[in-house]
């Protein structure tokens, strides 16, 4: 599954800027996606936008189901 991020996100020592993409495995990653092997319905970050069917399924099972992604703004979208 793959998600595009509307806000910066970090996991472990990896920082993904707003506009970056995360995938749950190397097999599902495309291009410069950051692989977050802990990605599942319980760990989807706020502002993540599903990019494929499995991501949509996980998103709909997450606490963010029924919400709209935020518009990037402020410190959350700055890549420092």
Predicted pLDDT at 74: 59
Mind listing the pLDDT tens digit for each residue in 2-35? 999 988 899 999 999 989 999 999 999 999 999 9
Say if residues 39 and 1 touch (Cβ distance below 8 Å): yes
Tokens of 22: 């995360």
Answer yes or no: is 40 within a domain: yes
Task: Report how many domains make up the chain.
Answer: 1
67: pLDDT confidence band, cut at 50, 70 and 90? confident
Answer yes or no: is 52 within a domain: yes
- DSSP label of 7: S
Answer yes or no: is 53 within a domain: yes
Least confident residue range of 36-40, 65-69, 70-74: 70-74
Mean pLDDT score, 35-64: 95
Sheet order of strands, 48-50 included: 34-35, 21-23, 2-5, 48-50
pLDDT at 73 over 70: no
Predicted pLDDT at 45: 93
Which residue range forms the structural domain that includes residue 12? 2-63
Answer yes or no: is 71 within a domain: no
């Amino acid at each position: 599954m793959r998600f595009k991020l509307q806000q910066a996100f970090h996991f472990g020592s990896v920082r993904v800027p707003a506009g970056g993409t995360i995938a749950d495995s190397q097999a599902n990653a495309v291009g410069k996606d950051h692989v977050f092997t802990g990605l599942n319905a319980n760990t989807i970050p706020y502002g993540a936008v599903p990019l494929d069917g499995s991501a949509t399924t996980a998103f709909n099972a997450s606490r963010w189901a029924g919400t709209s992604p935020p518009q990037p703004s402020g410190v959350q979208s700055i890549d420092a």
